[in-house]
Structure 1
Amino acid sequence: MAEIRIRNTDDRISGEANVRAFLDQQEVLYEHWNPAKLPTELDNKFVLSDEDKELILTTYSEEIRDLAARRGYHTWDIVALSEATPNLEEVLQKFEQVHTHTEDEVRAITAGRGIFIIKGSDELGYFDVELEAGDVISVPEYKPHFFTLMDNRQIVAVRLFIEKEGWIAHPFEDSSFQKA
């Protein structure tokens, strides 16, 4: 289950209802899919074949299509990152810069753990959303954020897009941002 850390105060928010209520206030969608639906052979597998990726998409087809219909997403795919990912550090550097998008950034975590760092209101500042299998998040268009891996450095996620080009970041300069 997702957990939130407010960077300015180090306060933590946990529990699905509390996380959802906080993220709703920040205009960030949070849902939870059943991680037990995933076939056991994919539970902690982070190097995926095309067949594995298709099996994940098929397993969560109903949830993906429901979310896509509600939010206007047209395409989706799977991203898998781990120490086995070629050029992992370069990939993470691309993600680990505060940026915005002209569409929502959506991730449905199916294995592993990751973290979104999101800019809240001026009073709140930045907050971390720590995600694990089953957590689904949609960061709204134009909301400054970035994504990175947790200490385990492994994640598999479904990504949903409006644009056919997929993930396109626009750098966001913010002198108030400090890496934790």
Structure 2
Amino acid sequence: MAEIKIRNTGERITGEQNVRSFLDTQEVLYEHWDASKLPTELQNKFVLSDEEKQQVLATFDSDIRDLAARRGYQTWDIITLSDETPNLDELLKKFENVHTHTEDEVRAITAGKGIFIIKGTKDVGYFDVELEAGDVISVPEHKPHFFTLMDNRQIVAVRLFIETEGWIAHPFADPQFESKN
């Protein structure tokens, strides 16, 4: 289950309903899918063949199509990141800059862990959403954020898009952001 750390106060929010309630106040969609339905051999595998990626998509097909129908997503794919990913550190540097998009940024974690750092309301400031398998998040368009890996540096996620060319990041310079919290 996702957990939240509010950077200004160090407060932690745990429990699915508490996480969902907090994220609702920040206009961030949070859902949970049943990650255990993924075949056992793929639950801890972070380098996937094209066939295995299709197997992940097929496993979650009804969840994906339900979310896509409700939110207007037109296309989806799989992203895999691990220490086996070529140029992982360069990719992470690209991700680890606060930015916005002109559409939601959606991730459904099917294996591993990751963190979205999101700029909340004025009274909250930046907060971390620590995600694991089964967690689904949608950061709204124009909301400053970035994504990075947790210490295990392994993740497999379904990405959903409205625009068929995928997301385009728009840098967001923010003097209030401190990266080392």
Q: TM-score category by the smaller chain?
A: over 0.9
Q: Does the 8 A contact of 2:105 with 2:141 survive in 1?
A: yes
Tell me if the contact between 2:108 and 2:137 (Cα under 8 Å) persists in the aligned partners. yes
Which amino acid in 2 is paired with 1:136? V
How far did residue 167 of structure 1 move? Answer: 2.1
In the alignment, which residue of structure 1 is the partner of 2:11?
A: 11
Partner of residue 122, structure 1: 122
1:147 aligns with 147
**Corresponding residue number in structure 1 for 2:65:** 65
1:177 paired with 2:177, answer yes
**Aligned residues with identical type, % of pairs:** 77
Q: With structure 2 as the length reference, what TM-score do the two structures score?
A: 0.99
1:54 equivalent to 2:78? Answer no
Are positions 1:32 and 2:45 aligned together? no
The aligned residue for residue 99 of structure 1 is: 99
- The aligned counterpart of 2:156 is 156
Q: Is the contact made by 2:103 and 2:167 (CA closer than 8 Å) also made in structure 1? A: no
Any idea what SS the aligned residue of 2:128 has? strand
Whole-Å Cα distance in 2 between the matches of residues 124 and 138 of structure 1?
Answer: 18
State the alpha-carbon separation in 2 of the partners of residues 99 and 122 from structure 1.
17
With normalisation by structure 1, the TM-score equals 0.99
| Contact 2:73–2:162 (Cα < 8 Å) also in 1 | yes
Partner of 2:82: 82
CA–CA distance in structure 1, aligned partners of residues 148 and 136 of structure 2: 15
Structure 1 runs of 4+ aligned residues shifted over 6 Å read: none
Q: Secondary structure at the match of 2:77?
A: strand
Question: How far did residue 122 of structure 1 move?
Answer: 1.3
Counterparts of 2:72 and 2:173, CA distance in 1: 29
Q: Which letter maps to 1:147?
A: F
1:133 matched to 2:133? The reply is: yes
Residue deviations 1:90-119 (CA, integer Å, cap 9, x gap) = 111110000000000000000000000000
Alpha carbons 2:105, 2:161 under 8 Å: kept: yes
* Long gaps (5+) in structure 2: none
